Amino acid sequence: MVRQQMDLTWHYVEKWAREKPDSEALVFGDQRLTWQQFQHEMDLAAKAFLAAGVEPGQCVAMLAMARTEFAVTYMAAAKVGALWLGLTPKHTLDELRYQIADSRPAVLIAVRSYLDKDLGETLRALAAEFDFLKRVIVIGEPIDGAVGYARFVRAERPELAEALQRRAGRVQPDDPMLVMYTSGSTGKPKGVVHTHRSIIANIRRELEYFHMNEADRALLHFPINHVAADVEIGFATIMGGGTLVFLDRFDPGESLRIIQQEKITVLGQIPVMFLLQFKDPGFFTTDFSSVRAFIWAGAAAPKIMMDLLGHVCSQTGATMITGYGSTEVCGFVTYTRPGDDRDTLMRTAGGVAEPFELRIVDSERRELPDGEIGEIAVRGPFLMQGYLNRPADTAAVIDAQGWYYTGDLASRDARGYITIAGRISEMFKTGGENVYPREIEELLESHDKVLFAAVVAVPDALYQEVGWAYVMPMPGQTVTGEALEALCRAKMANYKVPKRFFIRELLPMLGSGKVDKLALKQEIAAGAGNGKQ
Residue 183 has pLDDT above 50, yes or no: yes
**Quick one: which of 348, 320, 350, 314 has its CA closest to 334?**
350
Residues 6+ apart with CB under 8 A from 234: 66, 70, 71, 74, 220, 224, 228, 244
Cα atoms found within 13 Å of the Cα of residue 70, Cβ hemisphere only = 32
pLDDT band at 186 (very low <50, low <70, confident <90, very high): low
DSSP lists the bridge partners of residue 417 as: 351
pLDDT digits (tens, 9 = 90+) for 112-128: 999 989 999 999 999 99
Residue 184 has pLDDT above 80, yes or no: no
Q: What is the mean pLDDT of the chain?
A: 93
Q: What is the pLDDT of residue 216?
A: 98
Q: How far apart are the first and last CA of the chain?
A: 67
Neighbours of 531 (CB within 10 A): 16
Q: Between 301 and 316, where is the model more confident?
A: 316
Q: What share of the chain is helix, strand, coil (3-state, %, to 5)?
A: 35, 25, 35
- Say how far apart CA 179 and CA 84 lie, in whole Å: 6
Residues 6+ apart with CB under 8 A from 119: 63, 89, 110, 111, 112, 113
Q: What is the pLDDT of residue 77?
A: 98
- Look at 144-158, 212-226, 298-312 and tell me which has the smallest mean pLDDT: 298-312
User: Domains of the chain, with CATH numbers?
Assistant: 29-171 (3.40.50.980), 198-423 (3.40.50.12780), 428-526 (3.30.300.30)
Sequence letter at residue 486: A
Residue 105 has pLDDT above 50, yes or no: yes
pLDDT band at 5 (very low <50, low <70, confident <90, very high): low
Q: What is the pLDDT of residue 526?
A: 81
- Say how far apart CA 91 and CA 463 lie, in whole Å: 39
Residue 141 has pLDDT above 80, yes or no: yes
- Say how far apart CA 101 and CA 118 lie, in whole Å: 22
**Sheet (strand 357-361) strand order:** 357-361, 374-379, 404-412, 418-423
Q: What is the pLDDT of residue 528?
A: 53
Q: Do residues 383 and 328 touch, judged by C-beta distance below 8 A?
A: yes
- Look at 127-131, 223-227, 492-496 and tell me which has the smallest mean pLDDT: 492-496
Q: What is the pLDDT of residue 530?
A: 47
Mean pLDDT of 464-486: 93
DSSP lists the bridge partners of residue 454 as: 470
pLDDT digits (tens, 9 = 90+) for 372-427: 999 999 999 999 999 999 999 999 999 999 999 999 999 999 999 999 988 888 88
Look at residue 82 and give its three-state secondary structure. Answer: coil
Mean pLDDT of 285-308: 92
- Say how far apart CA 460 and CA 474 lie, in whole Å: 31
- Say how far apart CA 453 and CA 447 lie, in whole Å: 10
Q: What H or E segment, with its residue span, contains residue 28?
A: strand 24-28
**Quick one: which of 384, 382, 450, 441 has its CA closest to 409?**
441
Secondary structure string (H, E, C) spanning 10-22: CHHHHHHHHHCCC
- Say how far apart CA 533 and CA 530 lie, in whole Å: 8
Residue 103 has pLDDT above 70, yes or no: yes
**Entry pTM:** 0.88
Q: What is the pLDDT of residue 531?
A: 45
Residue 1 has pLDDT above 50, yes or no: no
pLDDT band at 300 (very low <50, low <70, confident <90, very high): confident
Is the sign of the CA dihedral 360, 365, 369, 375 positive or negative? negative
Look at residue 525 and give its three-state secondary structure. Answer: helix
Q: What is the pLDDT of residue 302?
A: 85
**Quick one: which of 252, 300, 246, 245 has its CA closest to 275?**
252
- Say how far apart CA 97 and CA 122 lie, in whole Å: 10
- Say how far apart CA 373 and CA 418 lie, in whole Å: 10
Is the sign of the CA dihedral 169, 173, 176, 178 positive or negative? positive
Longest dimension (CA), the chain: 75
pLDDT digits (tens, 9 = 90+) for 40-69: 999 999 999 999 999 999 999 999 999 999
Look at residue 110 and give its three-state secondary structure. Answer: strand
Mean pLDDT of 161-188: 89
Q: What is the pLDDT of residue 431?
A: 82
Q: What is the percent of the chain with per-residue pLDDT over 90, rounded to a whole number?
A: 81
Strand ranges for 215-365 from DSSP E = 217-220, 243-246, 266-269, 293-296, 319-326, 331-335, 351-352, 357-361
pLDDT band at 100 (very low <50, low <70, confident <90, very high): very high
DSSP secondary structure string for all residues of 361-412:
E-TT-PBPPTT--EEEEEESTTS-SEETT-HHHHHHHB-TT--EEEEEEEEE
